[in-house]
């Protein structure tokens, strides 16, 4: 797929803009997770193909510090608000006034902040791979930063640290940029902020996901949300799950622009 670039706040950000066969369709902006990329999160698992076949225009991008986009070692560059600003700037760059927005894991957090801070741009919202952890936190992530910065991957003993180090290595990521990102991108959403996310929202989490937190309690805090359990999937395997894709297509169909 053709990848293009735009610039926002000094970052050169890679993105794709995939049209359905009809040549037009409702836009869906996809926001990938930590240490991932649009290729790993959305193209490889089949989301771009699935959505374009269903008639949607699909936009995705590589976060600052990820994929083919500019890297920074400055932690303050990676707040959810700043990354949400990148998402909104991409819609402006493409002349899109209103889009559905879907994020996974860290991307779900960024999607939530996009819905809060750029409300007029977000029609319907899908939060994948992050449930009540959006509010309560998702555990100690300093161990992941330590794992990313370790000179020797074999020296990492923590299970979660090993998982994210292996993922970062497999995606050939800049581990120092990721360590800077993880320092600031974990900002929690407050209960009061959750209550201000008024867009129709789908919260989907794997039943074996030990990172995200359950989807139901988060959905209960949002004014117009539903929860979906991705059966027998963990944090990594939920992304490409067929039942998840089917549910998202049903949800988007039920909430047209």
Going from N- to C-terminal start, the domains of the chain cover: 4-136+187-254
Kindly state the DSSP code that residue 199 receives in the 8-state scheme.
S
Question: Residue 139 pLDDT > 90, yes or no?
Answer: no
pLDDT tens sequence across 68-79: 999 999 999 999
CA–CA distance, 62 with 68 (Å, rounded to integer): 7
User: Which residue is it, tokens 């926002």?
Assistant: 8
pLDDT of residue 186: 87
Mean pLDDT to the nearest integer, 231-248: 97
Q: Can you identify the CATH homologous superfamily of domain 4-136+187-254?
A: Alpha/Beta hydrolase fold, catalytic domain (3.40.50.1820)
Mean pLDDT to the nearest integer, 170-192: 93
pLDDT of residue 230: 98
CA–CA distance, 162 with 167 (Å, rounded to integer): 8
pLDDT of residue 21: 96
Q: In the structure, what pLDDT confidence band is assigned to residue 39 with cuts at 50, 70 and 90?
A: very high
Q: How many CA atoms lie within 13 A of 128 on its CB side?
A: 29
CA–CA distance, 127 with 138 (Å, rounded to integer): 15
pLDDT tens sequence across 149-168: 999 999 999 988 999 999 99
Mean pLDDT to the nearest integer, 92-103: 98
Residues 6+ apart with CB under 8 A from 230: 204, 205, 206, 207, 209, 238, 241, 243, 244
Mean pLDDT to the nearest integer, 31-47: 96
Quote the percentage of the chain above a pLDDT of 70: 100
pTM of the model: 0.95
The more confident residue out of 212 and 183 is: 212
- Residues 10, 41, 144, 189: is their CA dihedral positive or negative? positive
């Amino acid at each position: 797929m053709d990848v293009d670039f735009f610039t926002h706040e000094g970052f050169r950000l890679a993105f794709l803009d995939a049209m359905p066969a009809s040549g037009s369709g409702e836009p869906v902006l996809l926001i990938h997770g930590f240490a991932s990329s649009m290729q790993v999160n959305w193209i490889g698992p089949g989301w771009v193909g699935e959505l374009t076949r269903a008639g949607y225009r699909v936009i995705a991008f590589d976060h600052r510090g990820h994929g083919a986009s500019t890297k920074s070692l400055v932690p303050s560059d990676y707040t959810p608000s700043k990354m949400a600003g990148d998402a909104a700037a991409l819609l402006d760059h493409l002349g899109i006034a209103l889009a559905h927005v879907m994020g996974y894991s860290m991307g779900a957090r960024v999607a939530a902040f996009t819905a809060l801070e750029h409300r007029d741009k977000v029609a319907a919202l899908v939060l994948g791979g992050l449930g009540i952890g959006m509010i309560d936190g998702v555990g100690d992530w300093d161990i992941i930063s330590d794992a990313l910065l370790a000179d020797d991957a074999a020296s990492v003993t923590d299970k979660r640290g090993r998982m994210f180090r292996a993922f970062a290595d497999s995606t050939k990521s800049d581990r120092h940029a990721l360590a800077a990102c993880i320092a600031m991108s974990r900002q929690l959403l407050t209960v009061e902020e959750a209550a201000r996310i008024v867009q129709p929202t789908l919260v989907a989490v794997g039943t074996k996901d030990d990172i995200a937190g359950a989807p139901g309690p988060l959905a209960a805090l949002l004014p117009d949300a539903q929860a979906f359990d991705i059966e027998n999937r963990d944090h990594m395997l939920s992304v490409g799950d067929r039942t998840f894709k089917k549910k998202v297509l049903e949800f988007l169909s039920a909430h047209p622009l």
